[in-house]
Amino acid sequence: MVMLSKPDSAAQSGRRGFGWPRQRLTLLLALAELAFVILKGYSWLYPAPEIPTPADLDQLQPQLRAYLSKLVEVTQSAPRDARSHATLGIAYAANQLWQEARGCFENAAQLDPNEPLAHLYVGVATEELGDYPEALQLYRELSSRFPEFPQVYFRIGRLSLQLAALDEAQKAFARLTELAPGEWRGHAGLGEVALRRGDFAAAAVHLEKAVALDPQSGNAHSLLGLAYRGLGRQEDAQFELARGVDSQTYPMPDAWGDTAHEHMRLVQDQLEMANRHLTEGATDRAITLLATAATYNPTNLALLNALSIALHRAERPADAQIVLNQLFTQNDSYLPAIITASLVAQALDQPRESLAFAQRAVQLSPDSAHSQVALANVLLSAERDAEALEVLRIASKLDPKNAELHLQMGDLLLLNLNEPGPALEHYRTACDLDPTLVSAQIRLTRMLIERGDAIEARRALAVIRKLDPNNPALPMLEQQLPDTTRAETN
C-alpha cells in the first residue's frame, strides 16, 4: 500500500485532534479574505478624511474665497467621495494653494487607490511645493504601478531634465513616444535631452517631428531654433526662435488638468483668460467673465479697464464708457483707462473728447509707446496723416523692437501718403523684427512683385507658405509672380 502523506500524530494515536480540520480552516481563511475585500469597498467603515482648508481663507481675494467656501461645503456633504476631494484639489491647485491641494489629492488617492490621476497629482503638488526628489520618487512609483499611463512619463521626463538626470529623462520621453506617438511633448523632450548633450543633429530630428505634430507649439519651435543655431543654420534658427518667442510650456493634458481653467478665480488669471477669449473672438465670454469678477472686485482698476475694452470690442462703446466713468471716479489718472477712453470716444463719434484723452495720455506718460500710438490713431481718424506718421515714429523709437509699428507706418506711407519706397523699407524692417508676422510678409511680397524683385518676393512667399499654408492671399500672390519664378517655388 502506497502512502500519499504521513498521518498526523492524532490519527496514529486514535485520538481526535484539537485543531480545526484542514478543509474547514482553508475555507474560513478564504471567506475571511473575501470579507476583507468586500468590506474594504465600504468606505463608511473608515473615518472620513480631513478636508484641507486654507488657514488664511478670510484673507483671500473675495471671489476666490466665496468659490472655495462653496466647494468645501460640497466636499463636506460627501466626505468619502473621491471625486469631490479631487475637484477641490484642482480648485486649490488652479489658484496656487498647493499645500491644500496636496491634502485633497492624497484623500482622493486614499478613497480611490486605482485612479492614477489622484496619485499623479499628489506628485504634481509635491513638485510645486519644491520637494523635487520626493516628487520624482512618487512619479517613479506611479509608473511602476501604472506602466501604461503616459502622463506620468512626461512628468518624470520634465523633472529629470530639471534635475539634470538626462538618462532618466531620455528613457521617460522615449516611453512617452511609445505610449502616445501623436504627442509632441515626447519628441520635444528627446530633442531637449539631445540639446543638453550637444548633439544638435539628433535634437533637430526630434524637434522637427515635434513641430510637425503641433505647429503651434512655441516651446518646440524655440528648441528647434537652438538646434539649428548649433548646426550653423542661422537664418532657420532666427525664424524658429521668432516663432517661439514668449512661449509657455504647458503639461501634457489629462482629464483633471483640463478642468483647471474652470476653477481659476484669481484676478490676474481671469484677466489672462479674458484676453485669450478676446484673441479667439469669444467676446461675450470675456465680458461675462470680467463682469462677474468686477462684482467681487469693484475697485480693481485693471479689471474695470479690461471690461471696458471687451465692451468696446463687442461694439458696445456706450456701456464701455459707463464702466470707464466708474473707474475714473476712483482714479482719473490711470493711464491704461485713459488710452481706452480715447478709443471709446472715437467709437462714439466724439473726436474732441478722443483727442483730449489721447493728449492726456501723452502728457501723463510721454515715454510710453502706447500713449503715442493712441494719439496717432486719433490723428489718423482726423486725416492728419503727416502728423500721425511723426507720432508713430516717436512710438517706434520708444519701442524699437515693435514690428507692428513699422507695419502701421508702412501702410500709412503706402495708402495715405503715396510713398511706396519708404513703405517698402518699413515692411522689410517689420519682417526683420518679426519674421512670423504674416501680414507684413504679405505686404512685402506684394510690393516686391510690383517692383519686379522676383528673388526676394520668392523668399517672402516661401515664408508665408511655411507660416500659414492656407492663407487666402497665397494663390493670388503666386499667380502674380513671373512664370519662371512661380515654377521655382513649386
Give start and end residues of each alpha helix (H) in 112-165. 116-128, 132-145, 150-162
Query: How remote is the C-alpha of 185 from its chain's centroid?
Result: 14
* Confidence band for 35, pLDDT divided at 50, 70 and 90: low
- Percentage of residues in the chain with pLDDT exceeding 90? 86
Confidence at residue 13, expressed as pLDDT on a 0 to 100 scale:
39
Q: In angstroms, rounded to a whole number, what is the distance separating the alpha carbons of residues 326 and 231?
A: 57
Fold equal for 57-243 and 401-490:
yes
Q: In angstroms, rounded to a whole number, what is the distance separating the alpha carbons of residues 261 and 248?
A: 16
* Range 114-122 average pLDDT: 98
* Range 155-169 average pLDDT: 97
Q: In angstroms, rounded to a whole number, what is the distance separating the alpha carbons of residues 344 and 319?
A: 10
Between 3.40.50.300, 1.25.40.10, 1.10.760.10, 3.30.565.10, what CATH number should domain 401-490 receive? 1.25.40.10
Q: In angstroms, rounded to a whole number, what is the distance separating the alpha carbons of residues 243 and 4?
A: 80
* Range 32-58 average pLDDT: 70
At 184-242, the pLDDT tens digits run 999 999 999 999 999 999 999 999 999 999 999 999 999 999 999 999 999 999 999 99
Confidence at residue 36, expressed as pLDDT on a 0 to 100 scale:
46
Residue 459 burial by Cβ neighbours in a 10 Å radius (0-12, 13-18, 19+): middle
Reported CATH class of domain 57-243: mainly alpha
Predicted confidence (pLDDT) at residue 43 exceeds the cutoff of 70: no
The predicted model scores a pTM of 0.85
Cell numbers standing for residue 377 = 490713431
Confidence at residue 26, expressed as pLDDT on a 0 to 100 scale:
58
Cell numbers standing for residue 46 = 473608515
* Torsions phi, psi for 300 (to 5 deg): -85, 110
Q: In angstroms, rounded to a whole number, what is the distance separating the alpha carbons of residues 221 and 216?
A: 8
Instruction: Evaluate whether 156 touches 140 at the Cβ level (below 8 Å).
Output: yes
Predicted confidence (pLDDT) at residue 27 exceeds the cutoff of 90: no
Confidence at residue 48, expressed as pLDDT on a 0 to 100 scale:
87
Instruction: Evaluate whether 267 touches 255 at the Cβ level (below 8 Å).
Output: no
At 302-332, the pLDDT tens digits run 999 999 999 999 999 999 999 999 999 999 9
At 446-474, the pLDDT tens digits run 999 999 998 999 999 999 999 999 999 99
Task: Give the residue extent of every domain in the chain.
Answer: 57-243, 401-490
Q: In angstroms, rounded to a whole number, what is the distance separating the alpha carbons of residues 313 and 299?
A: 22
Q: How many other C-beta atoms can be found within 10 angstroms of the C-beta atom of residue 43? A: 16
Residue 218 burial by Cβ neighbours in a 10 Å radius (0-12, 13-18, 19+): middle
Share the mean pLDDT of the chain: 91
